[in-house]
Chains A and B, each alone.
Chain A
Amino acid sequence: MAVVTGLIMLENILQSLAAGLLIGAIYGLMCVGLALIFGVMRVINFAQGDFMMLGMYAAYYAFALFGVQALFGSTIGPYVAALLAAPLLFAVGYGVHWALVSRVTGTRTAGLDGDGHYAQLILTLGTALILQNGAMIVFGSYPVSVQTPLSVSAWEVGPLWDDYVSVFVNKARGIAALVSVATILLLARLIASSRLGKALRASADNPEAATYMGIDVQRSHRVAFALGTAITAVAGALLATNYPFHPYVGLEYVIVMYAGVVMGGMGSILGAFWGGMTIGVVQQMSTLILPTQLQNTAIFVIFLLIVFLRPQGFFGRVVERT
């Protein structure tokens, strides 16, 4: 009997860990999008959650209305739709930067009070409100999701011990986690070894020096903003198979994104991924010892602990750049 209780306990632990890693991978991807924008431009983007919402709707409409489901079926379709959301939201991000964000960032703000952060804050908050309410008018208030049979089925790992200890890995979440990791690897490669990546890093490290070296800092910022928007949109679209969403869904995730970015170290892109992953794992595993109601409280207790013990985050640099 004691063995059985132990095995059930083990199963609970492994199952929560699996759920945490799967959801953490998607959180990680969201955070990376935000970290890219913050890392390169030093802009705190409050509209990031709402760009994610747009990504979710883009994937939904691509899937349900514009033929992706008919062409690729309900199994692969959702992932094709998620990848289609990327270029679309890249364009949106590019446009928003060109029309709005560039007016309060970059070289224009040098020497302004607080480096223009106040204007940026108001601008992104305002954008968030417009997107939320605009989406409500255009898309309606009812929740929708990208429907696939994968979200209700799982790969069963086990039983690992006689008849006990089976871990279920939700198929939709499993594939989403793989796509998410692949996207991050691709991005890391882009930043590390392409000419564009070099320009992004240079603009992030020292915009002034980068300008002297012949780098178009404004363009780098625009690309970073668009890329960050696109990546978060993909994360949203991957989430959309399991999570019904509505125009206000961004609010539910923007806090998670910020906590993840700060935990990982402001400005560190890889750190943001691990920050998001930590949130996912803490959120799911805390239920083993704490009441489920306190899931999100647990996240912020860990968050405060990390900020207290390691203020620069997992991967942050102690010395601020000049």
Chain B
Amino acid sequence: MGPRKTGLGLSGLLLAGTIAMGLTAPPVLAQQPAEVKVGLLVPMSGIYARPGQVMRMGAEMAVDHINAQGGIKALGGAKLKLVAIDSGDSTEKAKNAAQRMVAEEKDMVAASAAYLSSFTLAVTEVTERVNLPVLTLSYSDLITERGFKYVFQTSATAASQAEQSLPEIVKLAEKASGKRPKSVAIITDNTAASVSSVKPMKERLLKELGIELVVDETFTPPLADATPLVQRVRSARPDLLFFLPTVISDAKLVLEKMNEFGLGQGRVPTISFGIAIAEPDLLKTMSPALLDGVMTVVANWGSKGHEALMAELKSRYNEPWMTQNAISTYGDMWIIKEALEKAGKADREAVAQTLRAMDMTGGPTAYFPGGRMQFDGKGRRVGAGLTIVQWQKGTPVTVYPSELALSEPFWPKK
């Protein structure tokens, strides 16, 4: 008898609940939401905590600016509310965090995630299923290769970055040193973004530019010692080194070892792809003299026109310059704001639809290179450009493209 009685009780309760909800629902819906929740799912603990925290700074600044300027006007001035969630330091933790986020934050309209390409791949597997639009600054081509409908990649993909930047780098080298580089060494870690950058180079681009690949090394971060890797470079003596780290300690180990082996400071010009080598943190671990002239290709960077933001980031958070993590996440919040204005309601499906249909040249476009805010069928930003950043006297400054450049590039030669 007992269990049956409980069953009846439960269904009774359910019925009562449904009636109660039915009664109270219309007034709640009729009201405009006081706050619109946007998510930021990035690593805030573990070895990737630092970039995640910088992304949070960018997001907080943007949300404050948006709210100070009157919030979402189409929603009666509703304020944005940032929900920052820690993705942890592994793909497994990132996926769990995403599951927690979608379960707990049912009214979240969009999110920005998740720094590392590997994490973004895992997180979007979860968010796609609940139709939550996710903006990402991650590079890997795979992210928008899977036919997902709710992922929007604001960065040029790794392959596209390689394709756009390699001819520029060769041109720069030729102009400055008087001879065309003929050989290159590639040292890369095995994270998704680095692998995606290197793949088209090895398959096609280097051959097209007539450059021979003389050293090809892939390592698992973090390295304990860079001796064997740099020893290969010493034996081969290439004209250029392409070095793609994700973890700061690897950047320090390789650059210091280059110097130790007499290859540093321009003897073998070093070019990176990705943000790690231009992080402010690098200065806390090594001398700026060893970095001078090192260049990196990044999807976005604090550039000409962002001076006020760079100054605010410095005064508010004590960040010496604006990396992609800060500026892209700042821009992401403005894209979401723009989508909410156009959608006219705080609904994730409506936001996703406006993002897909978006085509604008003003507003949030200012925060991304490439001059346009439109996403193609895969979710890639149409015409996404890039920036080349170079360490000059202890600061990485934008040197390419010329319309965004804050300084002239120089070619380290010895």
Residue ranges of A at the interface with B (Cβ–Cβ < 8 Å): 8, 11-12, 15-16, 18-19, 22-23, 133, 136, 141-145, 147, 149, 151-154, 168, 170, 242-246, 248, 252, 280, 283-284, 287-288, 291-293, 295-296
B324 to chain A, nearest CB (A): 17
Contact check, A136 vs B49: say whether CB atoms are below 8 A apart: yes
Contact check, B284 vs A143: say whether CB atoms are below 8 A apart: yes
Among B71-79, B247-255, B325-333, B344-352, which stretch is in contact with chain A? B247-255
Partner of A136, one of B45, B220, B222: B45
Contact check, A143 vs B235: say whether CB atoms are below 8 A apart: no
Contact check, A142 vs B284: say whether CB atoms are below 8 A apart: yes
Contact check, A243 vs B228: say whether CB atoms are below 8 A apart: no
A61 to chain B, nearest CB (A): 13
8 contacts between A and B (CB under 8 A): A8-B235, A12-B232, A22-B225, A141-B50, A143-B249, A143-B281, A292-B218, A292-B220
Residues of B within 8 A of A244 (CB): 248-249, 252, 281, 284-285
Contact check, A291 vs B256: say whether CB atoms are below 8 A apart: no
With A15-B228, A16-B227, A141-B49 given, is the CB distance from A154 to B260 under 8 Å?
yes
Name the residue on B nearest A279 (C-beta).
Answer: B224
Residues of A within 8 A of B290 (CB): 152
A54 to chain B, nearest CB (A): 17
Contact residues, B191-241 vs A (CB, 8 A): 217-220, 222, 224-225, 227-229, 231-232, 235
With A23-B225, A154-B260, A252-B222 given, is the CB distance from A292 to B285 under 8 Å?
no
Nearest 3 interchain pairs by C-beta: A19-B227, A141-B49, A287-B228
The docked-state distance in angstroms from the alpha carbon of A133 to that of B86 is 13
Contact check, B256 vs A151: say whether CB atoms are below 8 A apart: yes
B37 to chain A, nearest CB (A): 25
- Say yes or no: is B382 at the interface (Cβ < 8 Å to chain A): no
A14 to chain B, nearest CB (A): 10
With A19-B227, A154-B260 given, is the CB distance from A243 to B253 under 8 Å?
yes
Quick one: CB contact mask for B248-291 with A, threshold 8 Å, 1 for yes?
A: 11001100110111001000000000000000010011110010
Contact residues, B140-199 vs A (CB, 8 A): 190
B256 to chain A, nearest CB (A): 5
Contact check, B260 vs A147: say whether CB atoms are below 8 A apart: no
The docked-state distance in angstroms from the alpha carbon of A149 to that of B224 is 19
Known: A142-B50, A143-B284. 9 other contacts (CB 8 A): A19-B227, A142-B284, A152-B259, A152-B286, A242-B225, A244-B248, A245-B249, A292-B228, A296-B220
A136 to chain B, nearest CB (A): 6
The docked-state distance in angstroms from the alpha carbon of A286 to that of B107 is 52
Residues of B within 8 A of A252 (CB): 222
The docked-state distance in angstroms from the alpha carbon of A23 to that of B227 is 11
A11 to chain B, nearest CB (A): 7
The docked-state distance in angstroms from the alpha carbon of A63 to that of B125 is 46
Residues of A within 8 A of B231 (CB): 11-12, 15-16
Contact check, B285 vs A147: say whether CB atoms are below 8 A apart: yes
The docked-state distance in angstroms from the alpha carbon of A154 to that of B261 is 8
A303 to chain B, nearest CB (A): 16
- Say yes or no: is B305 at the interface (Cβ < 8 Å to chain A): no
Identify which of B44, B46, B260 gathers the most chain A CB atoms within 10 Å of its CB: B260
Identify which of A284, A287, A296 gathers the most chain B CB atoms within 10 Å of its CB: A287
Contact check, A248 vs B89: say whether CB atoms are below 8 A apart: yes
Quick one: CB contact mask for B38-49 with A, threshold 8 Å, 1 for yes?
A: 000000111101
Identify which of A144, A152, A287, A291 gathers the most chain B CB atoms within 10 Å of its CB: A152
Quick one: CB contact mask for B349-375 with A, threshold 8 Å, 1 for yes?
A: 000000000000000000000000000
The docked-state distance in angstroms from the alpha carbon of A168 to that of B219 is 22
The docked-state distance in angstroms from the alpha carbon of A133 to that of B287 is 29
The docked-state distance in angstroms from the alpha carbon of A115 to that of B408 is 69
B124 to chain A, nearest CB (A): 25
The docked-state distance in angstroms from the alpha carbon of A280 to that of B232 is 19
The docked-state distance in angstroms from the alpha carbon of A296 to that of B217 is 15
With A143-B281, A147-B285, A152-B290 given, is the CB distance from A242 to B228 under 8 Å?
no
B51 to chain A, nearest CB (A): 9
With A141-B53, A292-B219 given, is the CB distance from A168 to B45 under 8 Å?
no
Residues of B within 8 A of A147 (CB): 285-287
Residues of A within 8 A of B89 (CB): 248
B249 to chain A, nearest CB (A): 4
The docked-state distance in angstroms from the alpha carbon of A16 to that of B231 is 9
The docked-state distance in angstroms from the alpha carbon of A288 to that of B53 is 38
The docked-state distance in angstroms from the alpha carbon of A206 to that of B216 is 55
With A144-B284, A292-B229 given, is the CB distance from A153 to B249 under 8 Å?
no
The docked-state distance in angstroms from the alpha carbon of A246 to that of B248 is 10
Partner of B287, one of A152, A291, A293: A152
Name the residue on A nearest B286 (C-beta).
Answer: A147
The docked-state distance in angstroms from the alpha carbon of A18 to that of B261 is 14
Contact check, A133 vs B228: say whether CB atoms are below 8 A apart: no
Residues of B within 8 A of A168 (CB): 227, 260-261
Residues of B within 8 A of A291 (CB): 218
The docked-state distance in angstroms from the alpha carbon of A149 to that of B287 is 9
Contact check, B220 vs A143: say whether CB atoms are below 8 A apart: no
The docked-state distance in angstroms from the alpha carbon of A22 to that of B260 is 15
The docked-state distance in angstroms from the alpha carbon of A143 to that of B222 is 13
Partner of B224, one of A12, A15, A23: A23
The docked-state distance in angstroms from the alpha carbon of A245 to that of B281 is 11
Residues of A within 8 A of B44 (CB): 141
With A242-B253, A287-B228 given, is the CB distance from A142 to B222 under 8 Å?
no
Identify which of B217, B218, B228, B261 gathers the most chain A CB atoms within 10 Å of its CB: B228
Contact check, B228 vs A246: say whether CB atoms are below 8 A apart: no
The docked-state distance in angstroms from the alpha carbon of A142 to that of B320 is 14
Contact check, B285 vs A246: say whether CB atoms are below 8 A apart: no
The docked-state distance in angstroms from the alpha carbon of A136 to that of B50 is 10
Quick one: CB contact mask for B44-74 with A, threshold 8 Å, 1 for yes?
A: 1111011001000000000000000000000
The docked-state distance in angstroms from the alpha carbon of A142 to that of B218 is 25
